[in-house]
Amino acid sequence: MNRKFVCAAVVTLVAFGAAMSGEFNGIITKIEGDTVTFQKTKKGEKGKAGEPDGEAVKLKVTSSTGVFKTKFDKEAKKLVKGDAIEGGLKAEMFTAKFPEKGVRATIVTKGDELKAGDEITEIRTFGGGFIKKKKTDTE
Protein backbone atom coordinates (compact mmCIF):
# COMPACT_ATOMS: atom_id res chain seq x y z
CA MET A 1 0.00 0.00 0.00
CA ASN A 2 2.79 2.44 0.86
CA ARG A 3 4.55 1.59 -2.37
CA LYS A 4 1.45 2.51 -4.40
CA PHE A 5 1.09 5.79 -2.53
CA VAL A 6 4.74 6.74 -3.07
CA CYS A 7 4.53 5.88 -6.78
CA ALA A 8 1.34 7.93 -7.17
CA ALA A 9 2.95 10.88 -5.36
CA VAL A 10 6.03 10.77 -7.59
CA VAL A 11 3.92 10.60 -10.77
CA THR A 12 1.81 13.55 -9.56
CA LEU A 13 4.89 15.67 -8.77
CA VAL A 14 6.48 14.92 -12.12
CA ALA A 15 3.27 15.79 -13.97
CA PHE A 16 2.87 19.11 -12.14
CA GLY A 17 6.56 19.93 -12.51
CA ALA A 18 6.37 19.48 -16.27
CA ALA A 19 3.24 21.61 -16.49
CA MET A 20 4.74 24.53 -14.56
CA SER A 21 5.57 27.60 -16.56
CA GLY A 22 6.67 31.09 -15.73
CA GLU A 23 5.08 34.39 -16.70
CA PHE A 24 7.33 37.43 -16.68
CA ASN A 25 6.41 41.07 -17.33
CA GLY A 26 8.91 43.36 -18.96
CA ILE A 27 10.15 44.87 -22.19
CA ILE A 28 11.27 43.22 -25.42
CA THR A 29 14.28 45.36 -26.32
CA LYS A 30 15.53 43.53 -29.42
CA ILE A 31 14.51 40.81 -31.86
CA GLU A 32 17.15 39.09 -34.00
CA GLY A 33 16.04 36.04 -35.96
CA ASP A 34 14.90 33.42 -33.44
CA THR A 35 16.31 35.31 -30.42
CA VAL A 36 14.43 37.85 -28.29
CA THR A 37 16.23 40.10 -25.80
CA PHE A 38 13.92 40.62 -22.81
CA GLN A 39 14.32 42.92 -19.79
CA LYS A 40 12.22 41.76 -16.85
CA THR A 41 10.69 44.59 -14.79
CA LYS A 42 9.40 44.89 -11.25
CA LYS A 43 5.78 45.87 -10.72
CA GLY A 44 5.53 49.66 -10.74
CA GLU A 45 3.15 51.99 -8.99
CA LYS A 46 -0.23 52.56 -10.59
CA GLY A 47 0.25 54.51 -13.81
CA LYS A 48 4.05 54.19 -13.77
CA ALA A 49 6.37 51.72 -15.46
CA GLY A 50 8.29 49.29 -13.29
CA GLU A 51 12.04 49.41 -12.77
CA PRO A 52 14.33 46.84 -14.46
CA ASP A 53 14.74 43.63 -12.47
CA GLY A 54 18.15 42.10 -13.14
CA GLU A 55 19.98 41.90 -16.45
CA ALA A 56 18.37 41.54 -19.88
CA VAL A 57 18.35 37.94 -21.14
CA LYS A 58 18.29 36.39 -24.62
CA LEU A 59 15.50 33.86 -25.08
CA LYS A 60 14.72 31.42 -27.90
CA VAL A 61 11.66 31.64 -30.14
CA THR A 62 10.38 28.54 -31.94
CA SER A 63 7.83 27.97 -34.66
CA SER A 64 5.30 27.01 -31.97
CA THR A 65 5.71 30.28 -30.02
CA GLY A 66 2.40 32.16 -29.97
CA VAL A 67 2.28 35.97 -30.23
CA PHE A 68 -0.89 37.64 -28.90
CA LYS A 69 -2.36 40.99 -27.91
CA THR A 70 -3.30 41.41 -24.26
CA LYS A 71 -6.83 42.45 -23.32
CA PHE A 72 -8.53 43.30 -20.03
CA ASP A 73 -11.18 40.84 -18.83
CA LYS A 74 -13.76 42.97 -16.98
CA GLU A 75 -15.35 40.00 -15.21
CA ALA A 76 -12.09 38.53 -13.92
CA LYS A 77 -10.59 42.05 -13.52
CA LYS A 78 -7.24 41.01 -14.96
CA LEU A 79 -5.23 41.01 -18.18
CA VAL A 80 -5.69 37.91 -20.34
CA LYS A 81 -4.50 36.60 -23.70
CA GLY A 82 -6.37 38.21 -26.58
CA ASP A 83 -6.29 37.78 -30.35
CA ALA A 84 -3.25 36.37 -32.12
CA ILE A 85 -1.03 38.90 -33.92
CA GLU A 86 -0.99 38.07 -37.60
CA GLY A 87 2.55 37.32 -38.72
CA GLY A 88 3.84 36.77 -35.17
CA LEU A 89 7.27 38.34 -34.61
CA LYS A 90 7.40 39.21 -38.31
CA ALA A 91 4.51 41.65 -37.86
CA GLU A 92 5.16 45.33 -38.59
CA MET A 93 5.13 46.31 -34.89
CA PHE A 94 8.16 44.06 -34.31
CA THR A 95 10.06 44.95 -37.50
CA ALA A 96 9.68 48.29 -39.30
CA LYS A 97 7.92 50.10 -36.44
CA PHE A 98 9.85 48.51 -33.56
CA PRO A 99 10.27 51.36 -31.05
CA GLU A 100 13.68 52.37 -29.73
CA LYS A 101 12.58 51.82 -26.11
CA GLY A 102 11.10 48.39 -26.86
CA VAL A 103 7.73 46.68 -26.62
CA ARG A 104 6.00 45.99 -23.29
CA ALA A 105 5.07 42.32 -23.03
CA THR A 106 4.46 39.30 -20.86
CA ILE A 107 6.68 36.35 -21.75
CA VAL A 108 5.65 32.79 -20.88
CA THR A 109 8.47 30.23 -20.67
CA LYS A 110 8.61 26.52 -19.88
CA GLY A 111 10.59 27.08 -16.68
CA ASP A 112 9.58 28.91 -13.53
CA GLU A 113 12.76 31.05 -13.57
CA LEU A 114 13.93 33.37 -16.33
CA LYS A 115 17.32 32.25 -17.69
CA ALA A 116 19.23 32.98 -20.86
CA GLY A 117 18.48 30.41 -23.54
CA ASP A 118 15.00 29.51 -22.23
CA GLU A 119 12.36 28.73 -24.83
CA ILE A 120 9.43 31.16 -25.10
CA THR A 121 6.04 29.46 -25.43
CA GLU A 122 3.95 32.64 -25.60
CA ILE A 123 4.38 36.41 -25.99
CA ARG A 124 1.56 38.78 -25.00
CA THR A 125 1.95 42.47 -25.94
CA PHE A 126 0.27 45.38 -24.16
CA GLY A 127 -1.86 48.07 -25.80
CA GLY A 128 -0.34 47.99 -29.26
CA GLY A 129 2.97 47.18 -27.66
CA PHE A 130 4.59 50.58 -27.81
CA ILE A 131 6.10 52.38 -24.83
CA LYS A 132 5.09 55.99 -24.94
CA LYS A 133 7.71 58.64 -24.33
CA LYS A 134 6.81 61.10 -21.59
CA LYS A 135 6.42 64.69 -22.71
CA THR A 136 8.54 67.30 -21.02
CA ASP A 137 7.93 71.03 -20.67
CA THR A 138 10.41 71.74 -23.48
CA GLU A 139 8.60 69.58 -26.07
Confidence of residue 10 (pLDDT cuts 50, 70, 90): low
Asked whether the beta carbons of 65 and 88 are under 8 A apart, the reply is: yes
Q: Is residue 73 part of a domain?
A: yes
Q: Is 137 domain-assigned? A: no
Which band of pLDDT confidence, cut at 50, 70 and 90, is reported for residue 4?
Answer: low
pLDDT tier for residue 112 given thresholds of 50, 70 and 90: confident
Q: Tell me the helices (H) and strands (E) count for the chain, helix number first.
A: 1, 6
pLDDT in tens, 37-80: 999 998 777 666 678 888 999 999 998 999 999 888 889 888 88
Backbone angles phi, psi at 115, to 5 degrees: -130, 150
When pLDDT is averaged across residues 89-116 and rounded to a whole number, the result is 86
Number of domains in the chain: 1
Distances (CA, A) of 137 to 101, 134: 21, 10
Q: Is residue 2 part of a domain?
A: no
Q: Which domain holds residue 49?
A: 22-130
CATH code assigned at 113 = 2.40.50
DSSP 56: -
Residue 76 domain-assigned? yes
